[in-house]
Amino acid sequence: MRQRATRNLSSTAVVMGLAVAALAYPRGAAAQAGLGPSGRLRMGGIFHENFFQLPPDAPRQDIWARFVEVTFEDPVGPDSPTRTFLRVDLQQFAAIGISPGASLGFRLDDGTHIFDVAASYEWNRPRLDIGDDVAPANVAGLAASYSYRGIPNVQITGQGRYYRDWLRDLPSDGRFDEVGGAVRYRGFGRALSPEVGYATGRRVTAIDGDKYQERTWFVTVRSSVVPRTYVTARYRNRFREYTTVSPGSRNAGREDRRRQMTASVDVDLGGGLLWNFSLRYEDALASRPGRSFTTLSMGSGITVVF
């Protein structure tokens, strides 16, 4: 059953990765100035090489996928620094049809303090971090972050996220929580803005062999030297330790090291139209035989700001 669910949900998970990470884009002018209601329509596709994260000597499958997402934003008051938002998305994938998702939240930005809170729910979504398989689930999530910009040219951020999943085809559910922080330097203007960060998290589930703790550190560089073009590059190194206490478990004593490099380009085409492109490469080394792998993803899409 686990293997069948993995095949059916492959393109769904790829689309989810695109929606979350691949198509970052600048906010519209109205949203930046806090002037009035605004919205965004995103649509795009992604090619994902070796989606199932199999080792080099195993059959590797490549996947194409697509999605559409709509976001609405509205200020709380005429001169308020707080904006609320509603985001709805539909993801199309093979075998099981459409998976909807929605999130609701708010953002306060008065120039010195930035506070973001969002709650989300996804139906029939794959989870990529449950054991070694892709598993469909309904997922409820909560994320929050606070940034302080009272120090000249420096932004300090603390953030946390929590989600709970209810698996459709497996006799288990679980939860994941993570907290972390980052420091970003803005003294170079639009030419260069580096950021370093660290986070620690854990997954708890009824399947003892799938429990783990992980530590993540990352370096991000942002640049907008070319007019109307925004470039981001990021290196992330994640260390995962499985915490099962059963000597016979398949993951007893297992440790993973996962290095990921991503790059994205967002181009303002004018008239409220943006073009987005992303590239991601991941190299995973596991102490458990047969679980090391590499993957490569490329995504492209269009954003319409209204």
Beta bridge partners of 215: 200, 239
Question: What CA–CA distance (Å, rounded) separates 160 from 117?
Answer: 10
Q: For residue range 167-193, list pLDDT tens digits in order.
A: 877 666 789 999 999 999 999 999 999
pLDDT digits (tens, 9 = 90+) for 157-171: 999 999 998 887 766
Distance (Å) of CA 72 to CA 111, 122, 132, 267, 306: 22, 18, 36, 21, 9
State the pTM of this model.
Answer: 0.83
The ranges of the chain with pLDDT < 70 are 1-35, 93-97, 127-135, 170-172
Of 11, 5, 72, nearest to 36 (Cα)?
A: 72
Q: Which domain holds residue 289?
A: 2-305
Domain with residue 175: its CATH number is 2.40.160.40
Domain count along the chain:
1
